[in-house]
Amino acid sequence: MRFLTAGESHGPALTTIIEGLPANLPLDKSAINLELARRQQGYGRGDRMKIEKDQIEVLAGLRFGRTIGSPVTLRISNQDYQHWLSKMAPFAEAEQPADMVTQPRPGHADLPGALKYDLTDLRDVLERASARETAARVAVGAVAKQLLKEFEINIYSYVQSIGSTGIKPLDAALLVSNYEQVEKSPVRCPDDEAAKKMMAAIDYAKAEGDSLGGVFTVMAVGVPVGLGSHVQWDRRLDGRLASALMSIQAIKGVEIGDGFAMAALPGSLVHDEIYYHRSKGYYRQTNHAGGIEGGITNGETVVVRAAMKPIPTLYKPLRSVNMADHSPFTATVERSDACAVPAASIVAEAVVAWELALALREKLGGDSLGEMKENYNAYLKRVAKR
Q: Which CATH number applies to 2-384?
A: 3.60.150.10
| pLDDT over threshold 80, residue 67 | yes
What pLDDT is attached to residue 150? Answer: 98
- What are the pLDDT digits (tens) for 89-122? 888 765 666 688 999 999 999 999 999 999 999 9
Residue type at 130 in one-letter notation: S
d(CA 195, CA 319): 33
- What are the pLDDT digits (tens) for 273-324? 999 998 889 999 999 999 999 999 999 999 999 999 998 877 777 899 999 9
What pLDDT is attached to residue 317? Answer: 75
Q: In the structure, what pLDDT confidence band is assigned to residue 385 with cuts at 50, 70 and 90?
A: confident
3-state secondary structure the chain: CEEEEECCCCCCEEEEEEECCCECCECCHHHHHHHHHHHHCCCCCCCHHHHCCCCEEEEECEECCEECCCCEEEEEECHHHHHCHHHHCCCCCCCCCCCCCCCCCCCCCHHHHHHHHCCCCCHHHHHHHCHHHHHHHHHHHHHHHHHHHCCCCEEEEEEEEECCEECCCCCHHHHHHCHHHHHHCCCCCCCHHHHHHHHHHHHHHHHCCCCCCEEEEEEEECCCCCCECCCCHHHCHHHHHHHHHHCCCCEEEEEECCHHHHHHCCHHHCCCCEEEECCCEEEECCCCCCCEECCEECCCCEEEEEEECCCCCCCCCCEEECCCCCCEEECCCCCCCCCCHHHHHHHHHHHHHHHHHHHHHHHHCCCEHHHHHHHHHHHHHHHHCC
d(CA 255, CA 197): 25
